[in-house]
Chains A and B, each alone.
Chain A
Amino acid sequence: MASKVIMPKQGLQMTEGTIISWLAKEGDVVEEGKPLFEMETDKLTIEITAPATGTLLKIVREEGDVVPITELIAVIGEAGEDISSLVAAPAAPPQQATSGSVTQRVFASPRARWRSEEAGLDPATLAGSGPEGLIIEKDVLAAIDSRPAATPLARQAAQETGVNLTDIAGSGPRGKVYRRDIVVPVYHTQREDRLIKLSGMRRVISERMRQSLDSAAQAVHRIEVDMSEAVRLRNNLKAAEISVSFNDIILKSVARALLCHPRMNSRLTDGGILELGDVNIGMAVAVNDGLLVPVIRNTDTLSLVKIRGESRRLAEAARTGTLGPDELQGGTFSVSNLGMFELNSFTAIINSPESGILAIGAIKDMAVVVDGEIVSRPMCGLSLTYDHRVIDGAPAAGFLREVKNLLENPYLLI
């Protein structure tokens, strides 16, 4: 039975999309979940995966075609299958398709889902032993038991690179797999020049970075923050089975500080400086050869736990390419965190038309002087890039000091 490929709806406001390129040609065998074509909306460029495995029997709409959502663009089936009725049929009635791939519902108990999430397992990969194939905790625990020993970072790396952990000989004790066993440095052995086509996302990034530096008068302030109290807050919450990241605590603090410093939450318009009523913080997420900045709406009104949920969801959606355009718009300020790369601090470029971006470095134990004594404290370097056209050095410094104050006294966030 042949499957239709339709123009997927990527976000609430999308009505049509442009096919940029087909990544397979008629007659090719395609695999469900693997990229099939690249498309562009008025908001973004995105790769869409094949909804089924089979032979790409017919490409109905060519590269460059602008196609309304849900309309037929290709057919996948078995080689030689008669698809004349499908191709000749009038456009399918509009459906609520939210992504290019059709997913099968996974039945798992709430507890099994909880355990899977904790262990970084996808319940869809498990066989259920409960009634009617329900995946229960036992199935998750068995899967955890049977999988090779590996660090969480190694598991993440394996997932990202598509490597099967069982194929890796771990370098740790009893064969435990470390990240270094998977992500070995790839040396550039090719001697010829290589031209990389500016894909949709790369092109958007290069244009917008240039435009940001061309228009905004970007200046940078740096500050060091003692994270002792933030560490305590995070540990206490963890003891209560609520896990939040430092990034979440920083997002909450920045949102709160923006309420006191509305000029940091503004944009320069033809009419003047527009101080924005909503605080929508964008968080920079690195993706394969690119960068996305999904937006946490009304960050100032969300509890820490809500921010945690939203930031995790958006980061995951960014990595899996399932962000809708609605989730990439409306930011009023951005935060970029490269702490995981052990940078002390770094300078970010403003995500225009916003007026500021905060760059977060790693939290490191450092020797600092407190009350005349040299003590070890977990320190974090913050670096604020601001647009000097709309805000001057002193008020920008005031904003940064407010963020520092909130992070050093996180109970002020209550």
Chain B
Amino acid sequence: MSIKKYAVAIRDVIAEEMRSDSSIFVMGEDIGPQGGIFGCTRGLLDEFGENRIIDTPISEAGFTGVGIGAALTGMRPIIEFMYMDFTYEAMDQILNQAAKLRYMYGGKATLPLVIRGQQGIGRGNAGTHSQSVEAFFTHIPGLKVVQPSGARDAAGLLRTAIRDNNPIMFFEHKALYANSEEVPDDTDFSIPFGVADVKREGGDVTIIATSLMVGRALEAADILAKDSIQAEVVDPRTILPLDMDTINASVRKTGRAVVVHEAHKTNGVGAEIASRIMEDSFKYLDAPVTRLGAKACTLPFNLVLENAVVPGVDDIVAAVQNISYR
């Protein structure tokens, strides 16, 4: 085990995988000499050279298309988006090409492509650089969507993503990069997709949280425990595939569920999770399933306002208390 920052854990997995598989290369903006603006490719240019660590101009649709073509023809590209907000530039490549090509080639082609990058609040980067955009990629079949909430999960899930023969959308979080956690040194350490992690056990209410919200849910759970409400915190880790077995088992135990994500509440992934809980576990529910997500508002530039738009610890505590009927 080594204690690593989230960003370092990601860089190390990329390097380890590149050492053992020469078909892997990385492409993106400022990933060469600068090592990525968040340091996720720091030092990789020196070790692997310009043919495998490829700096691009601002041309998301272009380099995503290059990645798709390379993946179809035998390479295993990792495409870094400086901000996942910029995937909008490459939507046709991602949703109309990457998501569909394996199907349209009748399963004869593989598409081992990782599209990764950070998103979310935390730096006051304003409306076009602070969004959480994962839900778009869960609506169109053909992609897998990953949201690690800590360094250990980031390392294990990224290795699974790189070794998967399907296009993967890998959503890191800018406000988590500096968080440290123990990460196994094993260069085969991986975490399968579709397996949720119970980050905290409790019997009174289930909080299903993703990415940055996992930490906030755990903080909320500590506060609620003082009020004798024991919250169980479940992190799906991959929202597609989604581990409903673990979520249902928890909700059937507690009878109450709050789903919380940083992305906008309206038509967010929380709506899907809440709906499936009701379809699967209706008879076990003691209260309506509650969703928390960002208000229907463009993310503000101001850091205080930014935090006012997305769910905070207090919001999670209040939502749980509201359905606990104490």
Contacts and interface: CB of A to CB of B under 8 A. Distances in A.
B283 A112 contact: no
A130 B285 CA distance: 13
B286 interface: yes
A110 B256 CA distance: 11
A20 to B, nearest CB: 41
A137 interface: yes
A113 B283 contact: yes
A136 interface: yes
A131 B283 CA distance: 18
Interface residues of A, number: 13
B283 A138 contact: no
Interface string B258-293: 000000000000000000000000111111000000
24 contacts: A109-B285, A109-B286, A109-B287, A110-B283, A110-B284, A110-B285, A110-B286, A111-B255, A111-B283, A111-B284, A111-B285, A112-B286, A113-B283, A114-B283, A129-B325, A130-B287, A130-B325, A136-B286, A136-B287, A136-B325, A137-B255, A137-B286, A138-B286, A138-B325
A112 B286 CA distance: 7
Contacts of B255: 109, 111, 137
Contacts of A131: 325
A130 B323 CA distance: 9
Given A113-B283, A114-B283, 17 more contacts: A109-B255, A109-B285, A109-B286, A109-B287, A110-B282, A110-B283, A110-B286, A111-B255, A111-B285, A114-B284, A129-B325, A130-B287, A130-B325, A131-B325, A136-B287, A138-B286, A138-B325
Contacts of A114: 283-284
Interface of A: 109-114, 129-131, 134, 136-138
Contacts, number: 30
Contacts of B285: 109-111
Nearest to B322: A131
B284 to A, nearest CB: 5
A67 B283 CA distance: 42
Contacts of A112: 286
Contacts of A111: 255, 283-286
Contacts of A110: 282-286
Nearest to A112: B286
Contacts of A113: 283
Interface residues of B, number: 8
B324 to A, nearest CB: 10
B129 to A, nearest CB: 41
Contacts of A130: 287, 325
Contacts of A129: 325
A147 to B, nearest CB: 20
B228 to A, nearest CB: 13
A314 B246 CA distance: 35
Query: Quick one: which of B255, B283, B284, B286 has the most chain A CB within 10 A?
Result: B286
Contacts of B283: 110-111, 113-114
A118 to B, nearest CB: 11
B75 to A, nearest CB: 46
Contacts of A109: 255, 285-287
B25 to A, nearest CB: 48
A130 B283 CA distance: 17
Contacts of B287: 109, 130, 136
Contacts of B325: 129-131, 134, 136, 138
A110 B279 CA distance: 12
Nearest to B287: A109
A395 to B, nearest CB: 44
Interface string B169-213: 000000000000000000000000000000000000000000000
Nearest to A134: B325
Nearest to A138: B325
A407 to B, nearest CB: 30
Contacts of A138: 286, 325
A110 B284 CA distance: 6
A121 to B, nearest CB: 15
A130 B325 CA distance: 6
Nearest to B284: A111
A109 B287 CA distance: 7
B326 to A, nearest CB: 9
Contacts of B282: 110
Interface string B70-88: 0000000000000000000
A134 B287 CA distance: 10
Q: Which of A111, A114, A129 has the most CB of B within 10 A?
A: A111
Interface centre among B255, B282, B284, B285 (most CB of A within 10 A): B255
A110 B280 CA distance: 12
A281 to B, nearest CB: 27
Nearest to B282: A110
Nearest to A113: B283
A109 B286 CA distance: 5
A138 B287 CA distance: 11
A138 B325 CA distance: 9
Contacts of B286: 109-112, 136-138
A136 B255 CA distance: 10
Nearest to A136: B286
A114 B285 CA distance: 9
A262 to B, nearest CB: 38
B232 to A, nearest CB: 16
| Interface-central residue, A112, A129, A134, A137, by most chain B CB under 10 Å | A137
A400 B284 CA distance: 41
A338 to B, nearest CB: 32
Nearest to B256: A111
B188 to A, nearest CB: 35
A339 B283 CA distance: 32
A18 B121 CA distance: 75
A45 to B, nearest CB: 37
A386 to B, nearest CB: 42
B203 to A, nearest CB: 12
A36 to B, nearest CB: 35
Contacts of A136: 286-287, 325
A109 B285 CA distance: 7
Nearest 10 interchain pairs by C-beta = A111-B286, A137-B286, A111-B255, A109-B286, A110-B283, A130-B325, A114-B283, A136-B286, A110-B285, A110-B282
